[in-house]
Amino acid sequence: MENQGGITVRRALELPGLRGGLPEVLTGEDQLDRPVRWVHAGEAPNLPALLKGGELLLTTGLGIGARPADQRAFVRRLAERGIAALVVELGPRFPQLPAALVDTARAAGLPLIQLHREVPFVTVTEQVHTELVNSHYALLRQVEEVDRRCTRALLDGGGVPRVLRTLAEFAAEPVFLETADGRLLYSAAPPGDDRPDPLQVWEGLRSGRTADRDRTPSGAVVVDVPGGSTAPGTTGSVRARLVLLPVSGRLLPVHRLAAERASGILAVVLMQARQEEELAARGRGDFLHDLAEGRIAPEDAPAQARVLGFRPGEGPMLPVVMRLADPPEGLTPGGGWAVLVRAVAEELAAVGVPALLGVRPVEGRVPVLAGLRTE
């Protein structure tokens, strides 16, 4: 996914307006993928104070200053503002760019481009801004498509798991839904056999939050799922949190926009009674199913089970599958299973049996992994 809802300095230099000026990159060759937020043209000495960051600055150099000290200060202030690049058109003011200007830009890591031919700055501005608008429109179309797919997944009965899987496929990264206090409800991974198991990823994230629960990895996307403040497990008006982790690549603005749209869909679903509890039960059911099918390595299983809340003793494990040939009324694929799982878990806990219970509603099964006592 390359579209970030903007264009880069490199792309701006490829447009006809700047290309016609025969641009030459003098410094910051490794920074040409910086995003361009806007184009600004000017000649005033106080230009840096007028900028907010991300601008492609076009100038003939009249406001840069004649003394090397002024030139160095001008470039340093631009770098501090975080502009995307400085483009200077050669001409009467600067037949060639001064060494102080070039050296300071290089030291600051600021892309400095000189134009060997005169170009209409208004044309450059129009072309870059048109490209920005088109890029943002393309980004919104991507988000609308993901929103449509998430809504369709919900209407087709896929529930929250299908919504999360749709988002994970779009971002090509693992997606997690957690309670407001950091407890994992459900995880989804993008398709592909070479992808890391999301529970392993979550275990690493969870370990990193030991000292500071609110700390998330750099580049992660975290979006609040709104909900009522009186619901169990909520904090304030946040019912849950949607977390996208950049495991394989880099998350882009389009992924945050898609997550924000998905959070609205999830909020509606989670407002129904016991949805968080039922979703967690489905997540445990998926884990137990994958474990039984041999899709989870034995050495990885204990850590992943701990993430899901399983604390067995030292005795052997007993896998059991409860199959309801004729599920009672209320146990539909969309709800009621959390009540059954809670009741069974309470019965086992009453006799001192640690157990991990999940649900597979479509199959009418309740997989159980129980820890047996050795005495």
For β-strands 7-8 and 35-36, DSSP reports them as antiparallel
Taking only the tens place, the pLDDT of each residue in 272-298 is 645 667 778 888 888 888 888 888 888
Which of 72-76, 277-281, 365-369: highest mean pLDDT?
A: 72-76
Q: Is 2 helix (H, G, I), strand (E, B) or coil?
A: coil
Q: Is 234 helix (H, G, I), strand (E, B) or coil?
A: coil
Report the alpha-carbon distance of residue 53 to residue 51 in Å, rounded: 6
Is CATH 3.30.450.30 the right assignment for the domain spanning 157-271? yes
- Write down the H helix ranges in 180-300: 198-208, 253-270, 275-292
> What does the angle CA 80 – CA 84 – CA 85 come to, to the nearest 5 degrees?
95
The DSSP call for residue 54 is S
224, burial (CB in 10 Å: exposed 0-12, middle 13-18, buried 19+): middle
63-67 long-range Cβ contacts below 8 angstroms, 24+ apart: 64/88, 64/93, 64/94, 64/101
**The CA-based dihedral angle spanning residues 151, 153, 156, 162, taken in that order and rounded to the nearest 10 degrees:** -140
Which of 13-22, 164-173, 236-245: highest mean pLDDT?
A: 13-22
Q: How confident is the model at residue 116 (pLDDT cuts 50, 70, 90)?
A: very high
Q: Give the per-residue pLDDT at 236.
A: 52
pLDDT of 194 strictly over 70: no
pLDDT average, residue stretch 20-36: 94
Which of 64-78, 278-292, 303-317: highest mean pLDDT?
A: 64-78
Q: Give the per-residue pLDDT at 231.
A: 45
Q: Give the per-residue pLDDT at 363.
A: 79
**H or E stretch including 129?**
helix 121-155
Q: Give the per-residue pLDDT at 2.
A: 41
Which of 116-130, 196-210, 328-342: highest mean pLDDT?
A: 116-130
Q: In sequence order, what are the residues at sequence separation of 6 or more whose Cβ sits closer than 8 angstroms to the Cβ of residue 309?
A: 356
Q: Structure tokens of 337?
A: 């299973």
Residues of the chain with CATH 3.40.1390.20: 7-131
Q: How confident is the model at residue 233 (pLDDT cuts 50, 70, 90)?
A: very low
pLDDT average, residue stretch 334-353: 73
Ordered strands of the 221-226 beta sheet: 184-188, 175-179, 238-244, 221-226
pLDDT of 249 strictly over 90: no
Q: Are 153 and 163 in contact (CB under 8 A)?
A: yes
Under CATH, domain 7-131 is a member of which superfamily?
HprK N-terminal domain-like (3.40.1390.20)
Q: Is 282 helix (H, G, I), strand (E, B) or coil?
A: helix
Q: How confident is the model at residue 374 (pLDDT cuts 50, 70, 90)?
A: low
Percent helix, strand, coil in the chain, to 5, is 45, 20, 40
The residue among 211, 225, 141, 143 whose CA lies nearest residue 179 is 225
Q: 274 in the Ramachandran plot: left (φ > 0), alpha (ψ -120 to 50) or beta?
A: left
**H or E stretch including 241?**
strand 238-244
Q: Give the per-residue pLDDT at 86.
A: 97
Better pLDDT: 180 or 126: 126
Q: DSSP of 146-181, one letter per residue?
A: HHHHHHHHHHTT-HHHHHHHHHHHHHTS-EEEEETT
Residues of the chain with CATH 3.30.450.30: 157-271
Which of 84-98, 168-182, 220-234: highest mean pLDDT?
A: 84-98
Report the alpha-carbon distance of residue 131 to residue 136 in Å, rounded: 9
Least confident of 170-184, 279-293, 326-340: 326-340
Whole-number average pLDDT of the chain: 82
Question: How far does the chain reach from its first CA to its final CA, in angstroms?
Answer: 57
Least confident of 31-45, 82-96, 232-246, 292-306: 232-246
**H or E stretch including 41?**
strand 38-41
